[in-house]
A and B are shown apart, each in its own frame.
Chain A
Amino acid sequence: MPPPKSDVLPIRSGDDVVRVRQATRARAIEIGLSLVDQTKIITAASELARNTLDYGGGGEVAIEVVQAGARRGVRLAFQDKGPGIPDIAKALTDHYTTGGGLGLGLGGAKRLSNEFHIESTPGVGTRVVIARWK
């Protein structure tokens, strides 16, 4: 079995957000996700990449194909060294925003993923991990 592939992409500009979407699509197709599931994970990736850029002041994402038994999935780990999120529960609430966005990014990304983990330390940064399984 070949080793799982992992890409680390920077998120420093709007163009990088487009590249994150493209890399996510490539992995989603690779593991044979349905068109709807591809669309969901790419959309979630796009929301989180934009959060990393707009709220985290930029950062990076690691995209990898993961395996659990016979199941394969795509996992994305977004990391920034931004101001952090003081109240995660509030940040997950729909339509709550501190940056003039629609406030759907975090909650929406959670709904579009099979797995969602978030850790954030004010003053240190934020890490969000999502996965979508076939």
Chain B
Amino acid sequence: MDRIPILKLGGALIVTIQVDMHDRLAMALEEDLTNRIVSTGARGVLIEISALEIVDSFIGRMLDNIAAISRVLDAETVVVGMRPAVAITLVELGLTLTGIKTALNVERGMALIQARLDEDGDLGNARATSEE
């Protein structure tokens, strides 16, 4: 079965969706991402969707699920690269993706995740200091 590759970059997992999503692929991605978040301890998940020609409620629900699962596992999901026509259609469809962080492009999405990793770093330092 086809699977969407998941790349690890520092404390982030990166997925770029290049194919027309169908049910099994969506379910496999949810499962694979969940496993990788746990096995890598990633704090951020970046999902790049610039190749997606539509986002319907099925894909919207998949993105929502991934964001919700990530949150429970202490990782944050950022969806980036949505096409303008897709954004217009999504809003008219009634999907607001309220549970999902979005950013315009990969660079800005990574900056959001990096900010979270930096916070962790500060927290780690604070802990180290208080233990002294």
CB < 8 Å: which of B20, B57, B88 contacts A39? B88
Q: Which residue of B lies closest to A39 (CB)?
A: B85
Q: Which residues of A contact B (CB under 8 A)?
A: 14-15, 17-18, 21-22, 25, 35-36, 38-40, 42-43, 46-47, 50, 94, 101-102, 104-105, 107-108, 111-112
A20 to chain B: closest CB distance in Å?
11
**Shortest CB–CB separation between residue B33 and chain A, in angstroms?**
19
Which of B6-14, B71-79, B92-100, B123-131 touches A?
B92-100
B68 within 8 Å of A by Cβ? no
In Å, the complex CA distance between A49 and B95 comes to 18
Chain B residues touching A, majority SS: helix
Q: Are B93 and A14 in contact (CB under 8 A)?
A: no
**In the complex, residue of chain B having the shortest beta-carbon distance to the beta carbon of A47:** B56
Judge whether A39 and B89 touch: CB under 8 Å: yes
What total count of A-B pairs have CB within 8 Å? Answer: 68
B20 cross-chain contacts in A, Cβ below 8 A? 18, 21-22
Nearest CB in chain B: distance from A97 CB, A: 10
Using Cβ atoms and an 8 Å threshold, which residues of chain B touch A17? 22
User: How many of chain B's residues have a CB under 8 angstroms from any CB in A?
Assistant: 22
- Chain B residues in 8 Å Cβ range of A36: 84-85, 88-89
Kindly list chain B residues whose C-beta atoms are within 8 Å of the C-beta of A43. Answer: 54-56, 89, 93
* CB<8 Å pairs between A and B, sample of 24: A14-B23, A14-B24, A18-B20, A21-B20, A36-B85, A36-B89, A38-B85, A39-B89, A42-B54, A43-B56, A46-B54, A46-B58, A47-B56, A50-B58, A94-B94, A102-B57, A102-B61, A104-B93, A108-B93, A108-B94, A111-B93, A112-B89, A112-B92, A112-B93
